[in-house]
Structure 1
Amino acid sequence: MYIYGGTVASEENSIENQQKYNEFMAKIEADEKIEADDWMPEEYRKTLIKLISMHGISEIMGALPEKEWVPKAPTLKRKLGIMAKVQDEMGHGQLLLRVTEDLMKPYGRNRVHLMEDLLKGDLKFHNVFHMPTKTWADAGVVGWLVDGAAIISQTNMLDASYGPYQRALKRICQEEVFHAQHGESIIMSLAEGTKEQREILQDSINRWWSSLLMFFGPASASTTGTSKQEVTTKYRIRKSSNEELRQAFLDKYLPRIFSLDFSVPDETVHYDKDKEIWVYQQPDWNEFKKIISNNGPRSQQRLRLREVAYTNNRWVREALA
């Protein structure tokens, strides 16, 4: 079996034990939580490892674009706010990697392997965190819209069948609400500011719009061949599809963007009252695959920064070990 490109020891093929599998599915259907030491099918375990490790690494890598603005924040209050947000995101990452580590024990793997997989390119992180943050408005857009999208995605799994992940998400989502409010505060300050500040904010929305649409992933596996929606839904890890989540995001944020007299870079965007959905131009899913394969605008710089930190602090891990 392979996880993120590394060979690991195979679990006994207990999926053939139909009785255990039936009991497992009955437990999920009864809304009971699966715990780390419970029996689970290999497909379920592998799906969780891939999902939660990607989420955890994305929290850590996601702190890097905003970290760039800590020394450049316009006021002391803004500096303290974004520093606190960066600290929270790192904490989320550590919490989620702990959850992943418990799942990887049967394969003899731990968080060290996850970080090595990231640096080798075998473990992906979210598309939005490969993008540059060129202006202070980007810090606002990341907090308001990117974290807003994350809240929609994560609250979709607040009743996930895997107990440790569900409990971690409950704490993370509570803190993400503050992050979104932090971003909204920056946005409102710029929106109520000078003509130049509004132009900077409009430029930021334009540059981030495609990444925000990509955030939830393709509508179907046929788009990129990478969708795992059916598996996560079957095991009640998540409830809604990628497109349903994207529509929820558009429902919430497009009216807010328009109410501030800003636009999005898509002339086709409109609400279809008959179908009760937002119509929009699909992003370039080939570009999406390129970005998440570490070929985005800031992919290599951010990975290099993570590698330097990992290497320079090796002595701490060795001392603790």
Structure 2
Amino acid sequence: MKEQIDVEHLQRLTLDAIAAALSAGEVVMDLYQETAEVEVKLKADSTPRTEADRKADDCIRNSLLRTFIPLLSEEGREVYYDERRDWDYFWLVDPLDGTKEFINTSGEFTINIALIENVEAIVGVVFVPVQQKLYYAVRGEGSFCVEKFGVQTHLEGVSWADLQKQSQRLPRVKRGPTEWQQEFVVTTSRSHLAERTREYVKKLSSMFPKIREVECGSSYKMCMVAEGTADLYPRVTATREWDTAAGQAVVEMADMEVVDFTHFGRLYYNKESMVNPSFVVRPKFLTIPKLSQIEFE
């Protein structure tokens, strides 16, 4: 029987994950200044990989070694289900989410670190290096944001109480039906926007007459919904578990949800296939049609 991680232990692990994300952010930002010289390679699935992906991955691995918790990363070796199916806890990492945004210098890339317990994310850390913005969430504690949390910030000797003093609880902006009728904000993928997503957003205009669409990269879109600067994030194109786990923790602990687009069931982790279904990020009380209920042209 597994040993339960108590709240104080989760707080320490969260500080470890934040320190790892900040260190990786420092490495990534050093390379971001030299993007014209960064070599881009294509992985087997034709997605790009840069030196920044690899170095950020190495940095996070080295930082989290002391936790003695298994780590699964987009940039690491493939860990087959037979090996990981019995993991009670593991780190799930995307060391550079939004590699295309990194290459294109849009600044919309993040470093994602989640702690998975069985099939759900119980800690999530999303760091936006260019904006110096940190999102983090812990089961039993809530979801938070810290502005101007730069890559040069060091957590040596920083306690959970110290971190909380700098943090603002999410959502920072509370929106509902009245605000949605004035303006309904939908965030969509800048680099992976499908025509079905555009059509879905268009169909929502019968419910929300004033829709504003904001294109953005990486898991930052999930955090926008969590903090209340966006109302909906629909995703039709393929993602993997490391793309969404940290963001889902931030969303759920802000009392919102990440659900599949077909049945509106919660997304779970450590599946045999690590491919996510189409999903939507939304406030729990927002009623919208399922993808299957929309007639596409």
TM-score (norm 1): 0.30
Higher strand content, 1 or 2: 2
Name which structure has the greater RCO, CA cutoff 8 Å, separation 6+: 1
